[in-house]
Structure 1
Amino acid sequence: MSQSPNSRAPRATGSILAFAILAGAAVGSILGQPSAGLLVGAAIGAAISVAFWLKDRR
């Protein structure tokens, strides 16, 4: 299936998600709560990924 010349390729946000998870775990470790930091990082990364996905849908 070919794409039209005007369509853009969607952004790959896996690296953003992975960085957010690792950064959240690192910050959580500094604060003494690595599991909570991991979850917060995953939530932030997922929110960024969904935002990019919604923007790419337009």
Structure 2
Amino acid sequence: MGGFHIGDMLVQLLFLLIIALVIIVLVKLFLSSRKRKHQLDRLEEKVDTLESKMNK
């Protein structure tokens, strides 16, 4: 009964897709977190600038 069967190939493909999906999700989470931090830094800088103008 040896040999490589279609079912084996489908299972391997499914596991490969699951691993790829996990990697893609982790990368997207990392990139969105980095983007959000950059946006917050810019917003904080704008607030600080406005605050310093109001205190003059």
**TM-score bracket for this pair, using the shorter chain length:** 0.3 to 0.5
Larger Rg: 2
* TM-score normalised by L of structure 2: 0.46
**Greater relative contact order structure (CA < 8 Å, 6+ sep):** 1
* TM-score normalised by L of structure 1: 0.45
